[in-house]
Amino acid sequence: MFDMFSMWIFFSHPVVLILASVLGYFKLLALFSGSFVSGALLGEWFVLDDMGFYMLLLNKLIFILIILGGTEENKVYTGVVYAMGILVGCCFQLHSVFIFYVYFEVSLLPMVLLILGWGYQPERLSASKYLLLYTIFFSFPLLMYIVSAEMGGSGSSFSEWACSGESVGLMEALGSLALLGGFLVKIPLYGIHLWLPKAHVEASSGGSMILAAVLLKLGGIGIWRVLPVVQGLGASVSVLVSLGLYGGAMVSMICLGQSDLKLLVAYSSVSHMSLVVWGLLSNSTLGSYASLMMMVAHGFASSGLFYSAGIFFKEAGSRSLLLNQGLLGVVPGFAVLWFVINCLSMATPPSMNFFSEVEVLVMSYSLSTLLWLSVLVMAFFSVAYSMLCYTTTSHGRSSSVSRFCEINGSEQVVLGGHALGSFVILVVMSGL
């Protein structure tokens, strides 16, 4: 019994977990060395396509940064984070639809543990209930669709679904909407996003980083995999896209009135992910790959913003923008990294967010002028609230921020790693 306990302590040590993630990262690069292929079969249940490859890179880099940023936490925290990284990583490469659904839902349990065990506020139980109820309510129709598809002979893998043909008729359209609903609630789409701000506010820094950088992308990769099934929805897809974009534009305006830093970043995630939904459901190659790039870019930017919000709360005791002013005069080193992370969020060139938003704008202009205007509004307000967030905290008379101490080495590495990781994956995507 003592040997098993000692082994758990050894394997949950941050250094061991980081080394394991780094080895997995190089194995992934070795697997995809040379030219990319449409799918590299890893076994009966696994497949690795372009989307899965980049999501796995994002997954590994983000979890390395989370483990580095949580070195002051206990071994249980580190073990839960690493277990969640394995579950989410499996989702990005699973080929079997039913097994994908199992991992898709089980990945919620470590997130609930992180909120309940390491959350900051007493309302974290309510936030966990919101998270579970929203996802279970919308994932039950998804489970029914998967079971009926396997019993109806459509196959048990995503590739077999892709060969089964597009949706036609009322019943098929309703089934495809049920299929999309299980993924749209994870992204989340505007209208079914109310669980996200609650979960972010109540979660710890590591929990918010996982939720924003990785868990939201499960919905994106789910939609990517079922695109051949839902392409025949037609008008129903137009309604979903319109709801997402107009809702995203309204949420962008709401961000300007937020004083809580975590709430601002949470609502900005809803706005950015609505662009991902639009790109995926646009039925265009440019839109699909713009969504892929935006998901990776959003993963690094939002994770860095939430980690910075955690530093604000730890040092100053508050996440309020009005109580954390004068950062530039007290901790200039942190202010510089805070500026870089905000630049990633507002799509400053040459960041990955910039290229992805340009691709979405080009694609939108070629398909619909009204939707193009909605994307333009979101891009404008994204810059506006990011600049407001930075200038409010960096300038002005210092109050709570006067208690700030300059961030330590591990915090500098984590913040710098977000910016560096974003540029490295951009270089890999460009084929340089």
316-372 pLDDT per residue, tens: 777 888 888 888 878 888 889 999 999 998 888 888 999 999 999 999 888 888 888
CB 363 within 8 A of CB 281: no
Interatomic CA distance for residues 162 and 145, integer angstroms: 15
| Residue with the two structure tokens 């200039």 | 332
313-329 pLDDT per residue, tens: 888 777 888 888 888 87
DSSP one-letter code for 401:
G
Interatomic CA distance for residues 249 and 333, integer angstroms: 33
Best mean pLDDT range from 147-151, 226-230, 276-280: 276-280
Interatomic CA distance for residues 127 and 121, integer angstroms: 10
pLDDT of residue 341: 93
CB 390 within 8 A of CB 311: no
pLDDT of residue 401: 56
DSSP one-letter code for 163:
T
Strand, coil or helix: 154: coil
Residues facing 320 on adjacent strands: 260
DSSP one-letter code for 212:
I
pLDDT of residue 325: 81
Res. 243: pLDDT tops 60: yes
Answer positive or negative: Cα dihedral of 114, 119, 122, 124. negative
Res. 386: pLDDT tops 70: yes
pLDDT of residue 398: 66
Strand, coil or helix: 22: helix
Res. 311: pLDDT tops 60: yes
pLDDT of residue 431: 64
pLDDT of residue 297: 92
**What pTM, to 2 d.p., does this model score?**
0.87
Confidence of residue 11 (pLDDT cuts 50, 70, 90): very low
Confidence of residue 242 (pLDDT cuts 50, 70, 90): confident
49 or 92, which is more confident: 92
Exposed, middle or buried: residue 33 (CB in 10 Å: 0-12, 13-18, 19+)? Answer: exposed
Interatomic CA distance for residues 331 and 255, integer angstroms: 26
113-160 pLDDT per residue, tens: 888 887 766 778 888 888 888 888 888 888 888 888 777 666 677 777
What is the chain's mean pLDDT, rounded?
A: 79
Backbone angles phi, psi at 189, to 5 degrees: -75, 150
5 or 19, which is more confident: 19
Interatomic CA distance for residues 392 and 274, integer angstroms: 27
Residues 104-113: contacts with CB within 8 Å, 24+ apart? 104/139, 104/218, 104/222, 105/135, 105/136, 105/139, 107/215, 107/218, 108/132, 108/135, 110/80, 110/81, 110/83, 110/84, 111/84, 111/199, 111/203, 111/207, 111/210, 111/211, 111/215, 113/80
Query: 208: Cβ–Cβ under 8 A, 6 or more apart, which residues?
Result: 200, 262, 306, 309, 310
Res. 38: pLDDT tops 80: no
Average pLDDT of the segment spanning 51-57: 86
Interatomic CA distance for residues 273 and 257, integer angstroms: 20
Confidence of residue 8 (pLDDT cuts 50, 70, 90): very low
pLDDT of residue 35: 39
Res. 7: pLDDT tops 50: no
| Residue with the two structure tokens 């890999």 | 428
pLDDT of residue 171: 62
Res. 21: pLDDT tops 70: no
Res. 203: pLDDT tops 80: yes
Answer positive or negative: Cα dihedral of 321, 326, 327, 331. negative
The distance from CA 141 to its chain's CA centroid, rounded to whole angstroms, is 23
Interatomic CA distance for residues 66 and 201, integer angstroms: 18
Strand, coil or helix: 41: strand
Both structure tokens of 13: 């040590």
pLDDT of residue 399: 63
Res. 403: pLDDT tops 70: no
* CB hemisphere CA count around 163 (13 angstroms): 7
294-306 pLDDT per residue, tens: 999 999 999 999 9
pLDDT of residue 202: 82
